[in-house]
Chains A and B, each alone.
Chain A
């Protein structure tokens, strides 16, 4: 255990003397190094260290959360605390037997501190030069790369016996591109490249090749893109779009706290709110399988214990088209007559632990992409997206294509300008007729809670084939 495990134990014992029914004590640090290169110029070099303690306690099912970087101030807050005279929302706090006791860590094949900051900046400037030197007909108006690496360390103890030490390094790249060709422009702001691990993650990106591909593809869209036909057609969505769909319309609405209304005034509720899951678990077509799995090695959303000290595991949210399991915490499980499945995280020491997704994705099948599109006479392949959103019940959702192509007689064709899919969860999940044998993951920062907490996740899946989806033009 780390040298902080004694600190969190001490805080736990301090709180225990004050007669609380349940206590979690957490030390949480995030050591971040990031920089930005905009149009070849270094515009930002930053180091930040967020580290401190939090303690969450329950008294008669009323939850109180205290946070401070300073142990003494935290104890003072506990001393000055006034119980609230109001009805608690929480029905009970679960005492769970599936407690995590031990250490977990993501190994770095090439430790992040083995590569100097200057070398990392030089590398990103080199990538910028390669990208801006590409001969294309469009003009690159602006190109920015943000590099972020972090080390997250947590020590957690709970009054029922969890004892956790976790250490997860992560590397993340964000890029934005603005390109222009005549009256047309295209803009990408993307954060899809990210994993836990060491600098080997950066090497695995082949960033120059990856971003060159993007820029050439955007150039082709600007110079040759045609408007989509606004009709109902068969569409194929890439693993990237499958990922955002899984995250937004399967992951979020399966968060038990959201279903119960705990985030009602913020991130909203769920289409499952009020539904009797004991009598009806039907959801989508039987080829649909969606899981949330924090145990995926080298994933952005990796953890082996959640922040309530419960052992993490893979959860099937949707199995063969049927609702299987929700994301649960110690404070929601009783309402559903189940046990917590270890789905709780906080973004840093100031954050209340909440039910969060980890790595949420459709499972693949054995069909090849070519086989999946061979019977499509006239359709669309949407490869990437920019604009997206969903309503606060997670029902009506919109995805606007960035890179998209015609499918003509079973083959990919011309680029298409920004097709729009605006549909609902029922229609989308019931229109999926096939998933292929690929599986790709995309990084993201998932927001929830008040104050808003961003936690790193992966989203992904295979390519999905949907039958009979209405496509609109952007602006219509």
Chain B
């Protein structure tokens, strides 16, 4: 390793070397059976090299592969033309060592059978889903002398219970394992699957309650849209706003929370800047875009500790809880979306999108569930969704699954006048 760093010091103006080693096991379930057990022991070695207004990035599966490729990377770097926007390494020579692991998760990576038993014993209906156990060590060394290493582990589980054609979904993610959290995730999916009856729905505007999962899926897009790269490319409805502008309901606060108890902490970014929790939108007001050093400089701002050498990104998100009891949100006539998928945008600049409801879409009349609605979409604009947030639940839930890649803490949300379409 020292030889590699020495060579980098000789050939580049600056560099950042990131090595992530991951051991993980994933068990997948279908129809209450195990479809496959997957086990990974992998590395991701990424490097940023800069020289006189030129840069390149590179990623390998092993340090050996990277070492072999260094001469040709240096040659390629030399041949590039200068560019205006070059990633900048932070002037930090700090040493950071963080280890935050749960022994139960580490052990289960080698033998997940006890957790599999808890899952299958908790299933009341045919169960589909995933248990993912992850332990990862991330190292970062930069040409400024930054030397960081953090080890963390976490588990993600999500389940879909299917009872006589009716399905329900729930997910959780945590860096603290508990049997009860696993079994309650299975049971919560079964609760939604058990809601009976059929209801009809006319296309048009309705009040809706979004589950934490649906809200997190939509807000994840807003999280990425707050990246300064998407401000620069205008692939964001937020590109029309500036910090201080009102962009959402006063009830809505969205934070980037690298310090969290979902997947452990991300303590430093890819440029060697120490991370910190921050509001992106606070009480409806846009507070900041997410910056790395070079985009911060371009927009007269400081890095927010969200590098990405090229594109800043959110680490983990939190939607601040509200002041309403969960059950009170359902008072009145409304549509509840337990889950969604396939969110696609017609226009990122306007935030025009649609997403398909799945699992339990329930019609509520006078606060009572009256039946399940088949095949409904939310077809609206993201800025309208966050402006029309009426109330949020007191209880929040940690969410991560196939359609939520950024771990997110999210409440239930009541949103007024949302366009629902059917096909």
Give the B-binding residues of A (Cβ under 8 A).
36, 38-39, 41-52, 62-70, 73-74, 76-77, 80-82, 84-90, 116-118, 121-122, 141-142, 144, 176, 178, 180, 185-187, 189, 260-268, 349-350, 352, 386-392, 395-398, 400, 402, 418, 420-424, 450-452, 472, 474-476
Q: Which of B245-303 contact A (CB under 8 A)?
A: none
Q: Are B423 and A423 in contact (CB under 8 A)?
A: yes
Q: Are A41 and B129 in contact (CB under 8 A)?
A: no
Docked CA distance A45–B53 (Å): 13
Which residues of chain A are within 8 angstroms of B200 by Cβ–Cβ distance? none
Which residues of chain B are within 8 angstroms of A261 by Cβ–Cβ distance? 30-31, 128
Question: In the complex, what's the smallest C-beta–C-beta distance from B231 to chain A, in angstroms?
Answer: 10
Q: Are A142 and B423 in contact (CB under 8 A)?
A: no
Q: Are A178 and B55 in contact (CB under 8 A)?
A: no
For the complex of A and B, list the 9 residue pairs with the smallest distance between their C-beta atoms, beginning with the closest. A422-B423, A264-B128, A387-B346, A389-B342, A265-B128, A69-B61, A48-B59, A89-B33, A142-B234
Docked CA distance A142–B421 (Å): 31
**Count of interface residues, chain B, beta-carbon cutoff 8 Å:** 83
In the complex, which of the residues A49, A180, A189, A392 contacts B341, with contact meaning CB atoms closer than 8 Å? A392
Query: B97 in the interface, Cβ–Cβ < 8 Å?
Result: no
Question: In the complex, what's the smallest C-beta–C-beta distance from A131 to chain B, in angstroms?
Answer: 15
Question: In the complex, what's the smallest C-beta–C-beta distance from B79 to chain A, in angstroms?
Answer: 6
Q: A46-B59, A47-B56, A47-B58 are in contact. Are A118 and B38 (CB under 8 A)?
A: no
Docked CA distance A390–B423 (Å): 10
Query: B110 in the interface, Cβ–Cβ < 8 Å?
Result: yes
Docked CA distance A89–B110 (Å): 21
Query: Could you give, for residues 223-238 of chain B, a 1 whenever the CB lies within 8 Å of some chain A CB and a 0 otherwise?
Result: 0000001001111000
Q: A42-B83, A49-B65, A67-B40 are in contact. Are A185 and B350 (CB under 8 A)?
A: yes
Give 25 pairs: A residue, B residue, CB < 8 Å, sorted on A: A39-B232, A49-B61, A50-B60, A52-B42, A62-B37, A65-B37, A69-B65, A82-B110, A84-B112, A87-B34, A118-B81, A121-B80, A122-B81, A142-B234, A264-B128, A265-B402, A386-B347, A389-B344, A389-B355, A389-B377, A395-B375, A396-B375, A396-B377, A396-B422, A424-B423
Docked CA distance A349–B352 (Å): 36
From A47, A62, A81, A352, name the one whose CB has the most chain B CB atoms within 10 angstroms.
A47
Docked CA distance A397–B342 (Å): 11
Question: In the complex, what's the smallest C-beta–C-beta distance from B270 to chain A, in angstroms?
Answer: 13
Closest to A180 in B: B349
In the complex, which of the residues B30, B81, B232 contacts A264, with contact meaning CB atoms closer than 8 Å? B30
Closest to B119 in A: A86
From A46, A117, A189, A389, name the one whose CB has the most chain B CB atoms within 10 angstroms.
A389
In the complex, which of the residues A73, A116, A264 contacts B162, with contact meaning CB atoms closer than 8 Å? A264
Query: Could you give, for residues 24-42 of chain B, a 1 whenever the CB lies within 8 Å of some chain A CB and a 0 otherwise?
Result: 0011111111111111111
Q: Are B310 and A391 in contact (CB under 8 A)?
A: no
Which residues of chain A are within 8 angstroms of B402 by Cβ–Cβ distance? 265-267, 450, 452
Q: Are B79 and A76 in contact (CB under 8 A)?
A: no
Which residues of chain A are within 8 angstroms of B353 by Cβ–Cβ distance? 387
Query: B385 in the interface, Cβ–Cβ < 8 Å?
Result: no
From B69, B79, B159, B160, name the one whose CB has the most chain A CB atoms within 10 angstroms.
B160
Q: Are A86 and B61 in contact (CB under 8 A)?
A: no
Query: B183 in the interface, Cβ–Cβ < 8 Å?
Result: no
Docked CA distance A293–B405 (Å): 32
Which residues of chain A are within 8 angstroms of B310 by Cβ–Cβ distance? 36, 43-44
Which residues of chain A are within 8 angstroms of B29 by Cβ–Cβ distance? 89, 265
Question: In the complex, what's the smallest C-beta–C-beta distance from A248 to chain B, in angstroms?
Answer: 9
Docked CA distance A303–B31 (Å): 32
Closest to A117 in B: B76
Q: Are B130 and A450 in contact (CB under 8 A)?
A: yes
Query: B103 in the interface, Cβ–Cβ < 8 Å?
Result: no
Q: Which of B71-115 contact A (CB under 8 A)?
A: 73, 76, 79-81, 83-85, 110-113
Docked CA distance A420–B35 (Å): 38
Question: In the complex, what's the smallest C-beta–C-beta distance from A304 to chain B, in angstroms?
Answer: 26
Which residues of chain A are within 8 angstroms of B347 by Cβ–Cβ distance? 185-187, 386
Query: B195 in the interface, Cβ–Cβ < 8 Å?
Result: no
Q: Which of B312-349 contact A (CB under 8 A)?
A: 341-349
Which residues of chain B are within 8 angstroms of A67 by Cβ–Cβ distance? 38-42
Q: Are A116 and B79 in contact (CB under 8 A)?
A: yes
Query: Could you give, for residues 386-405 of chain B, a 1 whenever the CB lies within 8 Å of some chain A CB and a 0 otherwise?
Result: 00000000000000001000
Q: Are A386 and B37 in contact (CB under 8 A)?
A: no
Query: B370 in the interface, Cβ–Cβ < 8 Å?
Result: no
Query: B216 in the interface, Cβ–Cβ < 8 Å?
Result: no
Docked CA distance A118–B76 (Å): 9
Q: Are A70 and B30 in contact (CB under 8 A)?
A: no
Which residues of chain A are within 8 angstroms of B112 by Cβ–Cβ distance? 84
Docked CA distance A367–B379 (Å): 36
Q: Are A82 and B113 in contact (CB under 8 A)?
A: yes
In the complex, which of the residues A43, A51, A77, A474 contacts B352, with contact meaning CB atoms closer than 8 Å? A474
Which residues of chain B are within 8 angstroms of A264 by Cβ–Cβ distance? 30-31, 128, 160, 162
Docked CA distance A424–B358 (Å): 16
In the complex, which of the residues A68, A80, A86, A350 contacts B33, with contact meaning CB atoms closer than 8 Å? A86
Query: B57 in the interface, Cβ–Cβ < 8 Å?
Result: yes
Q: Are A45 and B421 in contact (CB under 8 A)?
A: no
Which residues of chain B are within 8 angstroms of A43 by Cβ–Cβ distance? 83, 85, 229, 310
Docked CA distance A402–B345 (Å): 12
Q: Are B42 and A187 in contact (CB under 8 A)?
A: no
From B111, B120, B379, name the one whose CB has the most chain A CB atoms within 10 angstroms.
B379
Q: Are B79 and A391 in contact (CB under 8 A)?
A: no
Query: B304 in the interface, Cβ–Cβ < 8 Å?
Result: no
Which residues of chain A are within 8 angstroms of B65 by Cβ–Cβ distance? 49, 51, 69
